[in-house]
Structure 1
Amino acid sequence: MFNLTKSERSWVLYDWANSAYSITITTAIFPLFFGQIAREGGLSDTTSTAFLGYGNSFYALLIAIMAPLLGTMADYKGRRKKYFTVFMVVGTATTALMVFIQPGAWIPAIVLYMLTAIGFSGANIFYDSCLVDVTEPERMDKVSTTGFGWGYIGSTIPFVASLVIIFMMAGGDMSVLNMTAVRIAFIITALWWFGFSIPFLKNVKQRYGIEPSPQPVKDAFGRLYKTFQNIQSYKHVFLFLLAYFFYIDGVGTIIKMATDYGSKMGISSTILLLDLMGLQIVAFPFAILFGILAKKTSTRFMLFVGIGIYTLITILATFLPLMGPDMLIPMFILISFLVATSQGGIQGLSRSYFGAIIPPDQAGEFFGFFDIFGKFAAIMGPFILGFATQLTGSYSIGLGCIVILFALGAFFLVLCGRVEK
């Protein structure tokens, strides 16, 4: 952070800001909160899980459809940060509005959750595309991985504060969440996210773009159509997006299913929670290390390293049930450590590699496609895992099948490198 320029540092701070949302709302506290108020509203656990899943699918589909158009419109000069601001404010405001959710009011809860997610995901399209504005191509790896690294610490601080408040107000009994404590956690998250977005708003300027159009929506559709027509001109970009589609789906599936898998293996909630916290802390230096090593080797090489480590993670997780009860917790911690070494690195370098191979004056448009591939990638991995698990009756074998995604990702990344040469 200390050897970055002012604009680079301000850009990185938004990763620090919005990561509080990622862990508190997406991963940890809100899902538990929603399950509790849904039960109070008369829904079964199965039904509440289904509605939360529908909410996730709906907002992801909406953003995926909107992303290329939003990104294309943001390429007009002076527009990128304006669109970012709109989505960031929607996300932070609706997160704060969650304090008014009453016990049993699961419908307002899921509606607000989808609005927070739309704000979060929409702002990220414009945030990612601003990478080309704040730094030069040779510094993108460093800046992008620094963002992910500091994002892990930025998520941990408000999350730990929220957990302490929830634990204290629950009197040590976490089986039922204290509503006041959860509302305080939502306020902490919203304030953290908005407050640390201010440097981005003040110091990040759009350097690249095209002249504004009197018919921006119509012209944006026209530019999208032209890009599809000329996709052969960007063959290496398309091949990288295919590679990213597969390997990031594998990464996302591992991240989403790790806690569920650990609990099915008999690991206690306390150990899983501590493991999650440790992962966030360990991931910080390794994300930055990936950026340093990418400069000494190459970005593509370190992406292959990340894919290789995740392949190893998947294989170890597949054989975890065969290792005996004494080895269960140590091996799960080892797997979590391996996740921490590569999680931020592979995501950060994917962002910077893509930023380096696209036309900078079309960054918004291309990052819109980047977001589409990332959003739709969230479908295949869970489906493969579920289908293979149901077919074989083994969760471990189902998880092992995720190796296919990493193999396909590596294959298309090889092709991308050959086209670039």
Structure 2
Amino acid sequence: MSNPIKLSQKEKSWILYDCGNSAYSMAITTALFPVYFGMFRGGSGMDIGYFNSIASILVALISPILGTIADYKDVKKRFFAFFALLGIIFTGAIAVVPNGQWQLLIGVYIVTAVGFSGANIFYDAFLVDVSIDANMDSVSTKGFAFGYIASVVPFTISLVVVFLIGLDQMLGYQLGFVITALWWGLFTIPMLRHVRQVHYVEREPQPIKNSFIRLGRTFMNIRRHKTVFMFLIAYFLYIDGVDTIIKMAVPYATDSLGLDPTDVFMLLGILLVIQLIAFPCALIYGVLAKRYSTKKMIVVAIITYIITTIFAFTMTQLWHVFVLGGLIGSAQGGIQALSRSYFAKIIPKNNSNEFFGFYNIFGKFAAIIGPTLMALVATITGVTRYSILAIIPLFILGLILFLFLPEYQSEN
């Protein structure tokens, strides 16, 4: 077996940003905010699925346009910094929204999601600037792995604060949002200092107009990138289920099991277990991808998610969430990291932002379907448990399409 790669400073700095923004994923997307929103508004937290979809639509619409413009020399870093700062500031701002103004709360939350997702367009695209093809699986999985383990720190602190102040008191959650923003900001600094754009398109007159022309040309000539196009369709389908589970796990478990505030706190603690399991599993996926191929390991992850979804439907007791968490944690980092690195290998490097803009738009439009379907099924049937069944076909269809892709094919 080959020796582990030695990370460069720019690779380490790139990975550290994952350590920062994973705190947002944990606290805002998955855990604290869904509970806080239910307390803030009153009633079911499943309604957040609709607002997740609104945020996803906004990001999906601007992703390819921003990505195309950012392919110009010395532009990518500026876009990344703007969206990261936007997300960080508004994450902290969640804490100061006046009680009862849930519409304003949702507005602030949507801005945080746009900032988080917008920054990730350029962060993901920087993978081609910080690493070579041979190392991308390893670097990408390390980003997710260390992001998982690092996010445990601010989340644990936040949980302690919530417990000490009171499970039914909003102040503890509000302090958790501030802690999350500070952590995210701290780990953004190395990325800003040490990572530079290597692959780019030279600047030209009328850059915005020409960006739209390049975007249209790429879309029209997508047939020249058959592997890229087929992957994006498969990714669109299976990542829908992944993102839906990440965003809806807490409200689904809370509603379907009928948890009280104490049980909800235990549920949030179980999410820590997911992070601890996800850390080594993401690294293992990177090692196994090098031995067996990236494609084979993505297939394993999709199958794991199908099993996870079926198990979620059968849950009846709180301890079942531990099992669910273990299943999610075993595949979550692997499927996200290897999808990112697989895509980075098959795209033209000089147009990485443009192509990652498409990657993001497919991913974000996918994230619209799942949460909306779950929220609709829960509303129509009045039974939260049925809602999880809506995402199983997406995993299956995504798997079928992905099986037709090559093990690896460079289209540079």
1:222-280 alpha-carbon deviations (Å, 9 max, x no partner): 00110111111011101000111111112223333433443323563243222211111
Equivalent residue runs for 1:76-87 within 5 Å: 76-87=72-83
User: In structure 2, what is the Cα distance between the partners aligned to 1:53 and 1:383?
Assistant: 6
Equivalent position of 2:94 in the other structure: 98
SS at match of 1:45: coil
Q: Which moved more, 1:392-401 or 1:76-85?
A: 392-401
State the distance in 2 between where 1:116 and 1:210 align.
Answer: 30
CA drift at 1:13: 0.4
| Superposition pairs of residues 1-400 of structure 1, within 5 angstroms | 3-38=6-41, 45=43, 50=47, 52-170=48-166, 174-177=167-170, 179=171, 181-263=172-254, 264-266=256-258, 268-320=263-315, 328-385=317-374, 396=385, 398-400=387-389
Once residues 233 and 358 of structure 2 are traced to their aligned partners in structure 1, the CA distance between those partners, rounded to angstroms, is 11
Local SS of the residue matching 1:192: helix
Residue identity matched to 2:204: S
> How far apart, CA to CA, are the structure 1 residues paired with 2:384 and 2:161?
35
Deviations 1:136-190 (A, max 9, x none): 01111111111111111222111111121222123xxx1232x3x3443222212
- Between 286-295 and 273-282, the greater mean CA deviation after superposition: 273-282
**Partner secondary structure for residue 331 of structure 2:** helix
Secondary structure in 2 matching 1:415: coil
The TM-score normalised by the length of structure 2 is 0.90
- Is the 8 Å Cα contact of residues 59 and 117 (structure 2) preserved in structure 1? yes
Change (3 A) 1:161 1:281: same
CA contact (8 A) 2:84 2:116 kept: yes
1:235/1:419 contact within 8 Å kept: no
Question: Aligned partners of 1:19 and 1:418: how far apart in 2?
Answer: 29
One-letter identity of the residue aligned with 1:103: N
**Aligned partner letter, 2:218:** T
Q: Cα gap change, 1:266/1:110 in structure 2, threshold over 3 Å: closer, same or farther?
A: closer
CA distance in 2, matches of 1:37, 1:224: 42
Letter of the structure 2 residue corresponding to residue 124 of structure 1: N
Structure 2's unaligned 5+ residue stretches are none
Deviation at 1:380, TM superposition (A): 2.6
Residues 363 and 183 (structure 1), Cα distance of their counterparts in 2 relative to 1, 3 Å cut: same
C-alpha displacement of 1:104? 2.6
Tell me if structure 1 keeps the 8 A contact 2:29–2:246: no
> Which residue is 1:41 aligned to?
none
Which residue number in structure 2 is paired with residue 325 of structure 1?
none
Using the alignment, how far apart are the partners of 2:117 and 2:62 within structure 1? 11
The count of residues paired between Structure 1 and Structure 2 equals 403
Find the aligned partners of 2:346 and 2:383 in 1 and give their Cα distance. 41
Contact 1:125 1:364 in 2 (8 A): yes
* Conserved? CA contact 1:245–1:377, under 8 Å: yes
CA distance in 2, matches of 1:280, 1:155: 8
Question: 2:168 is aligned with what amino acid?
Answer: S
Distance 1:314 1:184, change over 3 A: closer
> Counterparts of 1:155 and 1:34 in 2: how far apart (Å)?
21
Evaluate the alpha carbon distance shift between residue 291 and residue 95 of structure 1 in structure 2; reply closer, same or farther with a 3 A threshold.
Answer: same
* Residues 236 and 419 in structure 1, CA contact (< 8 A), matched pair in contact too: no
- Cα 1:93–1:273 change in 2 (3 A) is closer
TM-superposed CA distance for 1:318, in Å, is: 3.5
Letter in 1 for 2:162: I
Equivalent-residue separation in structure 1 for 2:349 and 2:199 (angstroms)? 6
Query: Aligned letter for 2:293?
Result: S
Q: What amino acid sits opposite 2:9 in the alignment? A: K
Work out the CA distance in 2 between the residues paired with 1:403 and 1:120.
27
Residue type matched to 2:140 in 1? S
Which structure has the larger Rg?
A: 1
Deviation of 1:37 (Å): 3.9
> 1:393: how far off?
7.8
Q: What is the match of residue 402 of structure 2?
A: 413
- The one-character-per-residue Cα deviations of 1:179-226 (angstroms, maximum 9, x if unpaired) are 3x3443222212111111110011111110010122111011000110
Q: 1:163 to 1:106 in 2, by over 3 A?
A: same
Tell me which amino acid in the other structure corresponds to 1:115: V
Q: Cα 1:329–1:24, aligned 2, differ >3 Å: closer, same or farther?
A: closer
Quote the RMSD (CA, aligned, Å).
2.5
Cα 1:301/1:349, change in 2 over 3 Å: same
Deviates more, 1:126-135 or 1:392-401: 392-401
8 Å contact 2:137–2:342 — kept in the other structure? yes
Question: In structure 2, how many angstroms separate the alpha carbons of the residues matched to 1:91 and 1:311?
Answer: 32
Separation of aligned partners in 2, 1:230 and 1:15 = 33
Give SS of 2:200's match. coil
**SS of 1:208 mapped into structure 2:** coil
Shift of the alpha carbon at 1:64? 0.5
